[in-house]
Amino acid sequence: MRQYPRRPYRFTRFRDTVDMTENPPDRQRTPWLGWTTRGTGTWWSTVLIIVVPIILATSAALIVLLLTIDVRDNPTAQIDLVKTGLAVGAGTGGIVALVLAGRRQWSNERNSHATENDATERHITELYTKAVEQLGSSEAAVRLGGLYALERLGQNTPNQRETILNVICAYLRMPYIPPGDRPEPNAPSTEHNQFNQRTQQRQVRATAHRILHRHRVHGPDWWDFPAPDLSHANLFHANLTNADLAHANLSHTDLAHTNLSGTDLTNADLYETNLTGANLSKATLTNADLSHANLTGTDLTGTNLNDAILDGTIGLQRPPTSPA
C-alpha cells in the first residue's frame, strides 16, 4: 500500500495546545471521550453518554423495585412501579445533562481565558518589538521614544523587566563617540551636523543611564534582576549614586567622572576600568576586582576596599603609613 507522508502539526507561538486545523489526523482524542472519529462520531458519543446512564439507571431501579415489592396481582401498582423507574432514569439523565453543561461551560471559559492570554502576550510582543525597532532608529527622538516605551512596558509587565534592562545595557555597550568640542562657526556643515548628531546621541545615552539608575536603586522603582553586564560600555559622567551594582561586569568600562557615591560594587568586575576622576566616596568594593584599573583622581573617601584586588592599579592614592 502506498504511503503518503504526513504533514507535521503546526505549533502556535503562545499556545499550550497543538493547532490541529491544518491536515488533522483522521481520529482525534478528546480528554473525556477517548478516541472518536471526527464529525458525527463525537455527536454519537455524546448521545451515548446521556442515554446509557438513563437506561442503566432505569433498569436498575425496575429490578430493585420488582425484587422488593410484590405487584404481580396489582396492575395499578405495576404501572406505578414502571413510572417510578422511568422517573429515576429521567432524573439520572437530568443529572448527566447538567454535568455535561457544566463541563461545556468550564471548557468555554478556559478557552476564553487562553484566548485572552494569547492576545495579551501578542500585544506585549508587538510593543516590545516596536520599541526595539525604535531604539535602532537613526533619529534621536525616535530612540528616546523607544527607551521610554521599554521602561513603560517593564512597569506594566514585571516578567519582562530583566529582558528590557538587558536590552538597555546592550545599547550602552554599543560603540559611542563623544561629540567633543563645538566646531568653529565657519567650519564645514558636515562637522556641524556630526557634532549635532553626536550631541543628540549623548542625550539618548544619558536617558538610558537614568533609566538604569532608577531601577537599580532599592526603593519603589527597584527592578529585581541579575547583575547587569556593562563591560566595554561608555558611562562617562553618569550618575549611579547608591545603585546596586554588586557582581556587575564593568570590565573595560569608561566610568570617568562618574558619580558612584554610595554604590554597592561588591564582587564587581572592574578589570582595566577607567575610573579617572570618578566619585567612589562611601562606595562598597568588597572583593571587587580592580586589577589594572585607572584610579587617577578618584575620590575614595570612606570607600570600603576590603579584600579588593588592586594588582596593577593606576593612580591609587594609598593613605600614608604612620612612622614606627
pLDDT for 320:
44
Cβ neighbours for 21, distance < 8 A, ≥ 6 positions apart: 10
Spatial distance between the Cα atoms of 93 and 55, rounded to a whole number of angstroms: 9
pLDDT for 7:
45
User: Considering the domain boundaries, does residue 165 fall inside one?
Assistant: yes
User: Considering the domain boundaries, does residue 172 fall inside one?
Assistant: yes
Say whether both 22 and 113 belong to one domain: yes
- Write the secondary structure of 236-302 as one string of H (helix), E (strand) and C (coil): CCCECCCCECCCCECCCCECCCCECCCCECCCCECCCCECCCCECCCCECCCCECCCCECCCCECCC
Say whether both 124 and 14 belong to one domain: yes
Cell, residue 65: 423495585
Cβ neighbours for 95, distance < 8 A, ≥ 6 positions apart: none
> pLDDT tens, 92-150?
767 777 777 777 777 777 776 766 666 777 878 888 889 889 988 989 999 999 999 99
DSSP state letter for 229? B
User: Considering the domain boundaries, does residue 34 fall inside one?
Assistant: yes
Say whether both 121 and 39 belong to one domain: yes
pLDDT for 226:
86
User: Considering the domain boundaries, does residue 224 fall inside one?
Assistant: no
pLDDT for 78:
60
Domain enclosing residue 147, as ranges: 140-214
Q: Is residue 36 within a helix (H) or strand (E), and if so which, with residue range?
A: strand 34-37
Give me the number of domains the chain comprises.
3
Counting as low any pLDDT under 70, the low residues of the chain are 1-54, 57-58, 61-75, 77-83, 85-86, 88-90, 93, 112, 114-118, 318-324
Q: Is residue 27 within a helix (H) or strand (E), and if so which, with residue range?
A: strand 27-30
Spatial distance between the Cα atoms of 282 and 263, rounded to a whole number of angstroms: 8
Q: Are 136 and 199 in contact (CB under 8 A)?
A: no
Cell, residue 186: 565657519
Say whether both 236 and 199 belong to one domain: no
pLDDT for 65:
60
Say whether both 127 and 145 belong to one domain: no
Cβ neighbours for 54, distance < 8 A, ≥ 6 positions apart: 89, 90, 92, 93, 96
User: Considering the domain boundaries, does residue 38 fall inside one?
Assistant: yes
Say whether both 98 and 70 belong to one domain: yes
> pLDDT tens, 268-295?
999 999 999 999 999 999 999 999 999 9
pLDDT for 122:
83
User: Considering the domain boundaries, does residue 182 fall inside one?
Assistant: yes
- Hey, which residues does 279 pair with through a beta bridge? 259, 299
pLDDT for 317:
77
pLDDT for 121:
79
Domain-terminating residue out of 115, 133, 151:
133
Cell, residue 265: 560594587
DSSP state letter for 7? P
pLDDT for 46:
61
pLDDT for 318:
61
Say whether both 56 and 78 belong to one domain: yes
Nearest to 165 by CA among 198, 206, 126, 214: 214
Domain-terminating residue out of 133, 159, 194:
133
User: Considering the domain boundaries, does residue 221 fall inside one?
Assistant: no
